[in-house]
Amino acid sequence: MQSVSSAHHHQRYLYGILMAAIGAMLFSGKAVLVKLAFTYGANAETLLALRMLMALPLFLMIFWWEARRKPMSPITWLDRGKLFFLGFLGYFLSSYVDFLGLQYISVGLERIVLYLTPTIVLLISYFGLGKPISRMQWYALIVGYLGVFVVFIQDASSTGLYAWLGMLLVFGSACSYALYMIGSGEMVKRIGSVRLVVYASSASMVFSVIQSTLHNPSAIFEQVAEIYWLSLLNASLCTVIPMLLIMISINRIGSPLVAQAGILGPVSTIFLGYFVLSEPITGMQIGGMILVIAAMWLLVRNDPPTKKSPNSEKSGDLDVEPLN
């Protein structure tokens, strides 16, 4: 019986790692699809609105399934207001400035900058909340930002000042998402990750559609067919499906291992950019990516494991946030 149990545990572990790896790579494909859509003449406002309009029904289906599976406690109007604001920060503002930044930098640099989000959370917690940072974490921060600078030099050599604008916009996206992560921590414990995702996605859809309408009232309905297909792929294959995979994998193997599997995100983005968008791969870019990955690995290795509550295994809630 013990060998059967051990084999089942090993299989569960392998499936968890596989799902986390696939989820990280699918999330990273978002940047490639957005860059492709730009070549067909779409703008950031329209692409974001189409992405959220197409993703929301899928999120609602997940919410319906989760509600049938287990009862959900009611939430207050104050909580709804907080969720609406979190949706603005983490899903609308973060995604919008990220889309804007992709117009000026390579998908490889974009993904590497976004990969620094945990370091931004760490710095905000240190300067804003007074939480300590260990010596090893400081080393990780220095190595990570050095790696971004190395990759940035590659982009700056070809696009000049536009590379600064693009990197600053994407870094702003990472900061916005970091604030969302800090603000959503307490909400996740009380209402669960599924409801948080659905409410935040709904808020983002409202903001993005309003913005697109103000920018051009008919733009959503006047795009070429390729834009709609790319937006559908972005909403499903690069947003909802990887979110589910990472939710399930965290439930199986825990956040630290999923974070380590996320290393495949920036790696796959650089190679996708090469094969799909003909973006160059250089030794400097690879070196900077290795530095950033090493920094994130150090942070994960030195992050103390969190204790699960006694009811966490029974609840079956999927405690994770979708990535930008």
The tens digit of pLDDT for each residue in 141-181 reads 899 899 898 888 888 887 778 899 999 999 999 999 999 98
Strand residues in 93-178 grouped as ranges (E): none
Identify the pLDDT of residue 305.
46
Cα 263 to Cα 252: distance, rounded to the nearest angstrom: 18
pLDDT in tens, 48-62: 999 999 999 999 998
Residues of the chain with pLDDT under 50: 305-323
Identify the pLDDT of residue 49.
97
Angle at the Cα of 90 (from 40 to 131), degrees rounded to 5? 140
Identify the pLDDT of residue 319.
39
Identify the pLDDT of residue 318.
38
Q: Which residues of 116-138 are buried (b: 16+ CB within 10 A; e: fewer)?
A: bbbbbbbbbeeeeeeeeeeeebe
Cα 93 to Cα 116: distance, rounded to the nearest angstrom: 17
Angle at the Cα of 59 (from 47 to 12), degrees rounded to 5? 115
Angle at the Cα of 250 (from 174 to 233), degrees rounded to 5? 60
To the nearest 10 degrees (0 to 180), the angle between helices 44-69 and 193-215 is 150
Identify the pLDDT of residue 297.
80
Task: State the first-to-last Cα distance of the chain, in angstroms, to the nearest integer.
Answer: 43
Using an 8 Å Cβ cutoff, are 105 and 154 in contact? no
Identify the pLDDT of residue 33.
96
Identify the pLDDT of residue 317.
40
Identify the pLDDT of residue 46.
96
